[in-house]
Structure 1
Amino acid sequence: MPHFRIETNVPRSKIPADFVLKAVPVLAKALGKPEQYCVVSIIPDVPMSFGGTTDPCAVANLMSIGALGVEQNKKHAKILFELVEQELGIKNDRMYITFQDNPTGNVGYKGTTFHALFG
């Protein structure tokens, strides 16, 4: 159910091949969610300017059912910005992360919704 989606101008050739595999356990631990439900995706090579330059930059979205909120997001931001800077070389002042807390009825899975599966 959690999905961390990154769009970046970093070229595909500079994205570590194992980035998404490394990022899933980090995301799962940060949110306290099982790894088997976590998704990390990255869309490289996006024509993008941040602050008037085309230096490496990104926009990201973290969607989850729960585990998000004012105080929690500060902790998530710290962990995710560190991950992105370490693995992708994008400085923390060159990316935004939006946090999206979806209700269980708005996330589909296995032909139904999480609300139907877990109430």
Structure 2
Amino acid sequence: MSRAFRVLVRNAMFRRVELAAFGRWTELAAVEPDSEWDAVAWMDAMAAYREEYDEIGTGPGSRGPELFMVTEGPDTWTVRQTFDDPEGDRDWGISATVDLAASDEAGEAVVTVTAVGPL
């Protein structure tokens, strides 16, 4: 896959971080309307994060490549966007898979969240 596609995936993951940072649970659920990640699931997952940290960074440093990990497979990518927490622990984030065939067909990154939480 191209570098441009990798950027699309990173942007899709970071969009979820931004929505989570501002507590936009309904918008988060709408990103993947057919998944188990409805507004309540997002709110519950992020409540545990909020017990540890006051905020999630969304500035330029939060988008950096050191907070985005990709394991490329022939059919699927496994990705993780780590949260830029105020303590610098970087132990929480969003894990997802990217279906390459579905992405090619859709003309956009088809990202499915698999977990939200600490590593």
Q: What TM-score results when the alignment is normalised by the length of structure 1?
A: 0.32
User: Structure 1 or 2: larger helix share?
Assistant: 2
Q: What TM-score results when the alignment is normalised by the length of structure 2?
A: 0.32
Higher relative contact order (CA 8 A, sep 6+): 1
Q: Which has the larger radius of gyration?
A: 1
